[in-house]
Amino acid sequence: MVAGRRTPIRLSSLSGLERLLAPHGLQPIAPVQRRPFSLVFPAHQAGNGRELFVKLLISKSAGVRRNFGREIEILRVLGGQPGVKALHVANVDDALTFHACERVRGPSLAEVAGAPGSDLAAMLGHARQLTAWIAALHRLGIAHRDLSPDHVFLEGGRLVVIDFGMAKQTRFLPADERQLCEGYDVQALGMILWEMVCQSAIFPYRGRGLGAVLQREAALVREAELPAEVRRVVMGCFATASEFMPDGLPPYSGFTSALQALRAFDA
């Protein structure tokens, strides 16, 4: 080792993470999962034993760092709101950027849909609850923009949503841009409900091929033996104007807002 140079911390090791996070009162515990731009893992908070879930940035990309900082700000804004875990610790600088929220206790909607005994009525109940949550989020001037069955959990009968890395504050956006941002949340709602009905992963959420997949699945929804109200909700979500409007569906023929989708459930 060169004299005076410290041994680099291995971020994938618990010991390396312990050295980084000890000054912030966090004790990492296994497992550590590596994602494209971050490490995620549970940790104990010193002094109270609270178990948090840490998301630690490992990307050097300016755009990713900007999104991560925006995620922290949005989590601060949403503190105390239903369906969002409280942010307890955060740090943003060149040496260490992370946030730590209360850990979710419960299965994801992907796991719920695949569990034995799942039925359509229960899935519709979860989807309606998610619709109400989206409508409340949009009233606050925020669009999540990354909803998927792996980002929505069921905890004690209530939904909890995670991963606000793509979220955007929409209150001061031009009306058409705000509609497209919020519209993707509604579109994702339809994709989540359809995947729960089919009990399989179908959509490349936010992927380049999403438009073509939506067009293909819309044709299957039209032909499926579904209650008319379920078909109406799924198709209304699919055809919502959004950042990923598929060519095969006429624009602005779907729901104009999450509130309209909620009314469709209640009807």
**Do 129 and 108 form a contact (C-beta atoms < 8 A)?**
no
Residue 2 confidence (pLDDT):
39
- 7 falls within a domain: no
Give the pair of three-digit tokens for residue 87. Answer: 């942010």
Residue 3 confidence (pLDDT):
43
Q: Are 61 and 171 members of one domain?
A: no
Domain residue limits at 142 = 109-266
- 238 falls within a domain: yes
User: Which segments of the chain are extended strands (E)?
Assistant: 26-28, 33-34, 38-45, 51-57, 87-91, 98-102, 142-143, 152-155, 158-161, 168-169
Among 76, 102, 128, the domain boundary falls at 102
Among 73, 102, 131, the domain boundary falls at 102
Q: Are 87 and 183 members of one domain?
A: no
Largest CA distance in the chain: 73
Residue 251 confidence (pLDDT):
63
Beta bridge partners of 45: 26
Give the pair of three-digit tokens for residue 89. Answer: 């610790």
* Stated pTM of the model: 0.91
> How many angstroms separate the CA atoms of 66 and 10, rounded?
24
Q: Are 46 and 114 members of one domain?
A: no
> How many angstroms separate the CA atoms of 26 and 41, rounded?
11
- What CATH number does the domain containing 31 carry? 3.30.200.20
- What CATH number does the domain containing 189 carry? 1.10.510.10
Residue 58 confidence (pLDDT):
94
Give the pair of three-digit tokens for residue 262. Answer: 């909620």
The DSSP 8-state label assigned to residue 78 in this structure reads T
The DSSP 8-state label assigned to residue 246 in this structure reads -
Q: Are 142 and 88 members of one domain?
A: no
Q: Which residues of 32-45 are buried (b: 16+ CB within 10 A; e: fewer)?
A: beeeebbbbbbbeb
Number of domains in the chain: 2
Q: Are 93 and 162 members of one domain?
A: no
Q: Are 113 and 70 members of one domain?
A: no
Among 102, 129, 153, the domain boundary falls at 102
Q: Are 134 and 72 members of one domain?
A: no
Q: Are 135 and 231 members of one domain?
A: yes
Q: Are 250 and 196 members of one domain?
A: yes
**Cα–Cα distance list, 28 to 11, 55, 105, 188 (Å):** 11, 11, 17, 33
User: Per-residue confidence of the chain (267 residues) as pLDDT tens digits?
Assistant: 334 444 444 565 788 899 999 999 999 999 999 998 999 999 999 999 899 999 999 999 999 999 999 999 999 999 879 999 999 999 999 889 999 999 999 999 999 988 777 788 999 999 999 999 999 999 999 999 999 999 999 999 999 999 999 999 999 999 999 999 999 999 999 999 999 999 999 999 999 899 999 999 999 999 999 998 899 999 999 999 998 877 667 666 799 999 999 999 988
Q: Are 114 and 48 members of one domain?
A: no
Residue 84 confidence (pLDDT):
97
Among positive and negative, which fits the CA dihedral 142, 148, 150, 153?
A: positive
Number of CB atoms found within 10 A of residue 190's CB: 26
